[in-house]
Each structure stands twice: as C-alpha cells, then as structure tokens.
Amino acid sequence: MNPWQLEPTDQFTIDKAWYLKKHPRELEAVLNNLIRYVSQLKQSKNAFCVQAGYLHPEPRGVVALDQKGGGPSLQETRLYIYPDEGKRILYLITIGNKKSQSDDIKLTSRFVDSLKISH
C-alpha cells in the first residue's frame, strides 16, 4: 500500500510561519500530533478508524488535531487536515485557535468542496 503524502496548502504555510513567530509551543504541539496521526494512519485500514484524544471530527471529513500533550498553559490550537483516502494524500489546510474556529471550519469546507469538484 502506498504511503500517505503530506500536501500543505498555501494557507497552512502562512499560518505555520505566523505560529512559529507568535505561538511556537502550540505549533510544535500540533505538529507533534500530526506525526502521531500519520504514524497511526500507517497502521490503520483507513483514516476514519484512527481515534485519539487530540483528534476532532469536523464537517466534510476534515479532522482537527489539537495541542493536547504539548505541555501546560498552551493556547487552544487546531491544525485542520483532510485525508483523501483514494489518493492517500493528507492535505494540511490551516491552523487556528478558538477565536478563528468558525472561519477555519468554513475555509476547510470550501477547500474540501473544491477538491471534490476537481476530481
């Protein structure tokens, strides 16, 4: 079976740079959880079998990885990803916090809809 490939969006790249400057511990925590998630994906039949306390299902098959396990006093942070089972691509869509959550979910929904249109 082909390995999963990570595909960062432009928005993810922008968010990652911002978090690196403003909230590096939160960024490190969600990226560590991304590594854990990818490791679990490799062991699972499909992406939707993976369950962990740092994972949150979102609309349209999007998954949010949070900062849990990254240490004390971290701002609530979410890395939004979309696992495309058919292509075995894990899209890294955006990173946000509780304040941006509503807008982040709208962005991720539009992103997944655009993927489905282009297929």
Provide the angle, in degrees to the nearest 10, between the axes of the packed helices 10-22 and 24-43. 130
Q: Write the DSSP assignment of the chain as a string of letters.
A: -PPPEEEE-HHHHHHHHHHHHH-HHHHHHHHHHHHHHHHHHHHSSSGGG---TTEEE-GGG-EEEE-TTS-SSPPPEEEEEEEETTTTEEEEEEEEETTTHHHHHHHHHHHHHHHHHH-
Predicted confidence band of residue 17 (pLDDT cuts 50, 70, 90):
very high
Q: Domain 5-114 is classified in which CATH homologous superfamily?
A: RelE-like (3.30.2310.20)
pLDDT at 49: 83
Cβ-contact 64, 37 below 8 angstroms: no
When the pLDDT of each residue in the chain is averaged and rounded to a whole number, the result is 94
Distance CA 16, CA 23 (A): 10
- The pLDDT tens digits of the residues spanning 62-117 come to 999 999 999 999 999 999 999 998 899 999 999 999 999 999 999 999 999 999 88
pLDDT at 7 over 90: yes
For 33-70, how does the pLDDT look when each residue is reduced to its tens digit (9 = 90+)?
999 999 999 888 788 788 898 999 999 999 999 999 99
The full set of domain ranges for the chain reads 5-114
Query: For the whole model, what pTM was predicted?
Result: 0.94
